[in-house]
Chain A
């Protein structure tokens, strides 16, 4: 193959997935753009945005990949009653990872803000926002990932090709929307 045909083929293959994720990213951006008030009221929250978004992608992307491989190997059954021991363990571990790493991001982020002498909200506020957002986004993304992987598998679609794009497109939107919600809850409870 010539360079030209290789480039054209790679471009054509990637374009739909990347375009869909661009649209997802724009939605996430719109939510973030509407968060001006919360970002000013909770100084330091913006610092957590990349870490929290990456966590959603890393944790639930890995859950999708794990379940997809297990379906291929016949280790788990694509059933929604959660009777399957391995499915339950994978979901519980993903939730634990997601929430623990979110709180770790808030603690480390707070440390950085203090060390750099930046304007910051209280530690309790940042940890509470990260925790609430971590729990809610965990529930939503677990439903999305497990749903898509299992339903895809039942319909004969390779779950490996589904899990990645689903997580990248929904992860950012869900990640930012739950941060906004969590920030509002914490502000309403008197944090800041």
Chain B
């Protein structure tokens, strides 16, 4: 039963929020490490929030679908399970169709507003590779988190969603960093 006093709500949420903040600071350190590159190529800076956001979103959608399927008893953790494999494919499909568009969008708005130093192809490639890698990681994290919650008898709705969203946030920055190091 949810508590409805200011003190009660703050006391319920603050520990979780503090832990999540410390996790997010890890991706902050990574951003700080490649700040010079990001400031030199602002079209990459434009990619930061959308990469973090999309990774978390795609992961959270898969997580909530798997959680529901677990509740309904429709999910078997086997490589032939339709729900499992179908949702994994949809997750990868969303990433590989949306991330190239996001890369192109980031380059176009930056070119219109301030001019860019990187060619369009590079920014699209950075976004696409980051998206594909993130989708694979998001699938892995989601399945692992849902399976663990299922095994220990925790409600996957409570546990899996925050874990997946915040892990994907951190992975989003890490993957972007790795891809930028590789390509730029």
Contact = CB atoms under 8 A, between A and B. Distances in A.
7 contacts: A9-B90, A29-B50, A36-B42, A85-B4, A86-B4, A97-B13, A168-B53
Interface residues of A, number: 73
B82 A32 contact: no
B89 A7 contact: yes
Contacts of A1: 82, 86
Contact of B10 (A11, A18, A97, A176): A97
Interface residues of B, number: 67
A100 B82 contact: no
Given A97-B14, A101-B21, A172 B57 contact: no
Ranked 10 nearest A-B pairs via Cβ: A6-B86, A25-B50, A93-B9, A10-B90, A29-B46, A47-B28, A51-B24, A7-B89, A28-B49, A25-B53
A47 B39 contact: no
A4 B20 CA distance: 36
B110 A30 contact: yes
Interface in A34-50: 34-36, 39-40, 43-44, 46-50
Secondary structure type dominating chain A contacts: helix
Interface string A158-178: 000000000010001000100
B144 interface: no
B28 A24 contact: no
Interface string A100-113: 11001100110011
A90 B9 contact: yes
A55 interface: yes
Contacts of A51: 21, 24-25, 28
A93 B5 CA distance: 8
B82 A2 contact: yes
A5 B27 CA distance: 36
Contacts of A101: 14, 17-18, 21
B58 interface: yes
Nearest to B64: A164
Contacts of A28: 49-50, 53
